[in-house]
Structure 1
Amino acid sequence: MQFIDLKAQYEAYKSEIDAAIAEAVASIRFINGPQVSELEQQMADYVGVKYAVGLSSGTDALLAPLMAWGIGPGDEVITTPFTFIATAEVVALTGATPVFVDIEPDTLNIDPNQIEAAITPRTKAIIAVGLYGQCADMDAVQAIADKHGLKVIEDAAQSMGAEYKGRRSGSLGHVAGTSFFPAKPLGGMGDGGMAFTNDEELAKTMRMIKEHGQTAHYRHGKIGINGRLDTIQAAILLVKLKYFDDEIAARQKVAQYYMDNMPDGARGPVIREGNLSAFAQFTVRVPQRDKVVELIRETGVPIAVHYPLPLNRQPIFLEMRQKAGLEPETFANAELAANEVMSLPMHPFMQQADQDTVLNAIKEALGKL
């Protein structure tokens, strides 16, 4: 059993993917080939925004708008402590300070009710993550940002394909960034990412930044990065995008079967009314998580933990606070979640027989506590 069965996905689209790769290779346009701009247009249309900018990773898709806005030393950016480190890492890379606020106890996304208390004169932006595939409460986040004149970035690395009140993930906030890492809902065969916005000037600046700040050939108006999306990855993603809605629908069926048959003692994800999760992960909460994971893995069922340590407890952020003369922070909901969550095998090609194996392993493990 695979945690994410990328081989099954490749076999399903093999002839088209192989042809797309061969075409990209034969063109010899490995950098900025026409497939990149075609993917940008199709993804912008899919998400429902005017502009999409292909980038080399989901991390760069978050970093580019921060750089475009000139966020840097002395500034603060508010985000969640319960996410992959890239969300806060990009803030630190600009020289700004990530400021964490706790998460909602049910969705595990950033809690809008706690954001205003963290805003200071140095706050410039809020990054809201669509954890596990479900968008945060973006309307509430945006209302707070508008009130205080702040920018909003939707971190859609896990939530591409999700919907929030009828709008697609990637169209929320001033800008959104997603990842095409192979394990994501829409994944390539290597690293890749994309930023989405309706702001023409922001899109133009991000395009400059991803090309070393280049304004014309060997003319550089900004400090930038080497952040381009490879042509071959764009070619692969153009194939996968054709089947993406079908895969999201298949993920709903897999998730619903898990939820309908979840053993007592395990709590499945809470999906808010008006939301459609992309189910990048299917994450449940259990008591004595580490013991349960150990027992399940002994049966051969693959289990992952997203995430065992909240960012406020990561060594680098503890070190940064110590250097600033600040004490470590505690976020009760994030730290409780970090002790309870475990992610089950989840992908569009999963069979119910495999799900039954997973569910039985959970039931047996909980029965041994």
Structure 2
Amino acid sequence: MASSARWSLGTAAAVDAPWPPEIEERYERLQKLGEGIFGRVYKARDRANNRIVAVKQLSGRSDGTFVQTGFLELAREVTSLHRCRSHPSIVRFRNVHAEKRAAVGDGSDDDGDSFIVMEYAGRMNLRVYMVSRGIHGMPFSEAEVRGIMRQLLAAVEASHHAGILHRDIKPENVVVDDATPMAAGGGRECSPLATSDAYRAPELFLGSADYDGRVDTWGIGCIMAELLAGTGAAFFEGKTAEDVFANMLGVVGARGIKDWLGPRQPGSGRRSAAEERARGCPETGRLRKVFPEKVLSQAGFEVLSGLLESSPKIRLTAAEALQKPWFNDQRTDDEGPRESPRRRGLLGVCFMSCATDD
């Protein structure tokens, strides 16, 4: 199960081990942006062109601090970035460097670290920004939520079209461009399986290995709920994964996932604890009570409930969600005219997960 990234924003880079000489020669390390189970992300200056970039250092060894990242993981991550390179809401790939493998005979079988250089989009993540807005009593308007959701869904749609599942959609993995007063930021860790509990789709709790891009749209639905709630906390919480699962089905309703499971067949064996919990949850949820019409219009609720549909078969895809009336051209004044997300400087989404086999 993926652990959450331990973001230590603003930490001085001097506390970390030196980079290899060939990397230090090219990049001036300015600031550590974040740290996850696979390595660290830094703000740096590319000496070759004086451009500010983000450098993700992936550990080539497993030392109790980081999970070892080998050539296959590096290739998948770079391929994912390259496939999505033209989308304005996905960070752009710049370069990749691999440290030389340890010399044979020195007693080490570890690979050297790898360095993925990306566009620098900001230094704080969406979670930090949501918490900051909550502390200062600045809730998100529905129009603001719609603008953010439009960009997130467009980015996910582009990645899915390229044959890539993100599989770890959560506010910590969304970078808010700091070129405007909306500045917030962060980095991203790659999940080896699929997202942390509070953003995990129901079918994943049930152990399904046959999932598609709708595990990502479920995560976007969770983010939408959090933006509307305005607390900065995860929308689906619980002390254990089982508690989170029961809580989410209690909110969104279990009818869809029960239909997806189908009736229990005679002789099918013992049901898992997760399936037992799903069967015992109420079919109808209370999502509309949590977000009444004074908080979210009917058109907006159609998107939210479609993204948080417990059945993966009928949950909205990113493309389907973007076709809903909520995203049409009749926008309120405070959302402003539609522009390129990069020119507006709102969000840059880091897609560095594994490519599918397509």
Give the TM-score range, shorter chain: under 0.3
Structure number with the higher helix fraction is: 1
